[in-house]
Structure 1
Amino acid sequence: MPTNSEKGAAARAPGRWRPGEHILWRYRANGTGEVHICRPVTVVRDSDDLLAVWMAPGTECVRPELADGTPVHAEPLATRYTKPRTTVVSRWSGAGVLKLARPGEPWSVWLFWEPGWRFRNWYVNLEEPRVRWPGGVDSEDHFLDLSVYPDRSRRWHDEDEFDQARRAGLLGDDQARRIREAGEEAARLVDAWGRPFSEDWPSWRPDPGWAVPRLPADWHRPVRARHAVPGAGARAPRRPGTG
């Protein structure tokens, strides 16, 4: 049963983060290897079989945007993955997000709530298995996503983006096949109501004493000592205008 802060794990296990520590959850851009998404998060649990983190409302994050200032999802699909991009800093709106990831799995599971802590749904984000480094974890998004609802129904998202990414050359045939297989495996997990869906994470609440993590100036820093693949750099973001 998950607890609010899991303070019982007071001593840091070798290579593990303590509950309450701040790390970065980052994604590399498909086809470039540059970090284009960065979200400061608070560690909830870090064990041999699970990394759980909390992204608080109002967290300052980095996200991609087209170089002409167009939001990515406002660009027509035909040119969404071919026009130049940059990165911008903005704050996460709405309720916070609890992210759960098990080592080696090609997805992470996110939990969403409505205001007042009314649980809305789980969200299976297909992605490259995360690579740990001293300041956080890095991955690469695989476009396809799966919403899972409290009545155990599920719905796929972004299949059009997945197909367009293939046409744009961001995914090869072998990689696309592996992603599809991962999606089928995730769907079977949902149908069997395995972990984490069978666990009581919807009742979890963040420690009220936790501060909102800050976005460091060097959020895009290359990682030279990962546990697996080599590190990659990124451009520093431009901040959107105020007012």
Structure 2
Amino acid sequence: MRRFGIGETVVRRDVYRGRVWSEQAMRVVADTDEALVTACCPGAGRRWPSLYARASIDGDRSLRTEAFDAMVTGNWDLTSGVWQETVMLVWKPPVEWFSVNAFYDAAGHRLRNWYVNFEHPIRRTGNGFDSLDLVLDLVIAPDLADWTWKDEDEYAHVRRLGIVSDGEHRALEHARAQVLAMLDHRTGPFSDTEPWPAWRWDGAWRVPELPGRPER
């Protein structure tokens, strides 16, 4: 297995039934047996479903529901855009059904919040890795003092649609327990010895860009 080099640009893709659902250009912070750690910043290249993009622009969450309906039929298209508003650092263990994300302000100087994304384990590709976002998220205060579940209604919808299978649901429930235990015991990125709150985007790195067009 080839390790990615620090500072290398990689592409994180969400893939559903063999089709690309989204792509995000990232920089590699570390690549170890414990986790692949990547980051992106405002302006980083991305591609995502057109309905998701419209929902973000219009502030209309019903368009996200339409996007999931399109997802289950395989009838969606992608639009190009850029990452906005935050610097994001992502800790992704290779076989776990979640990633731990740290969101910093746009300048990358202040940890704004933690964000746990529940998703498939990674599958490495020639220029990055594939996963699949399972919709449910956990938002955690920067000091770890409190947290709240996010998008539970949308998760219930994708369960009804069959986008998340019973087996995937069981894996996600196990991942929930793992993450809450990490929070309780202050392990992984939540450890007091981890330098995440003080991490900064490397000023020598250019904003990562996506290569070409997505595979269909």
| Match of residue 135 from structure 1 | 127
1:210 matched to which residue of 2? 205
Q: Deviation of residue 183 (structure 1)?
A: 1.4
- Contact 2:51-2:64 within 8 A present in 1 as well: no
**Which secondary structure state, in structure 2, belongs to the residue aligned with residue 66 of structure 1?**
helix
Question: For residue 95 of structure 2, what is the amino acid of its counterpart?
Answer: G
* CA positional deviation for 1:115: 4.1
Q: 4+ residue runs of structure 1 moved beyond 6 angstroms?
A: none
| Alignment equivalent of 1:120, drawn from 96, 108, 112 | 112
SS in 2 for 1:85: coil
Match of 2:30 among 45, 55, 61: 45
Q: Does 1:100 align with 2:100?
A: no
Q: Of residues 155, 165, 188 in structure 1, which corresponds to 2:148?
A: 155
Confirm whether residue 110 of structure 1 aligns to residue 95 of structure 2: no
- Give the counterpart of 1:59 among 38, 44, 48: 44
> How many percent identity over aligned positions?
33
The structure with the larger Rg is 1
Q: Tell me what 1:229 maps to.
A: none
Contact 2:99 2:117 in 1 (8 A): yes
Separation (CA, whole Å) in 1 of partners of 2:114 and 2:197: 9
Quickly say closer, same or farther: Cα 1:77–1:112, change in 2 above 3 A: closer
Hey, what's the Cα distance between the residues in 2 that align with 1:52 and 1:174? 27
Instruction: Determine the C-alpha separation between the residues in 2 that align with 1:160 and 1:203.
Output: 34
| Aligned-pair CA distance for 1:77 | 6.6
Partners of 2:4 and 2:92 in 1: CA distance: 14
Are the aligned partners of 1:59 and 1:213 in contact in 2 as well (CA < 8 Å)? Answer: yes
Q: Matched residue of 2:170: which SS?
A: helix
Within the candidate set 12, 15, 19, 2:6 is matched to 19
Give SS of 2:172's match. Answer: helix
Greater CA deviation, 113-122 or 193-202?
Answer: 113-122
1:71 counterpart (55, 64, 88): 55
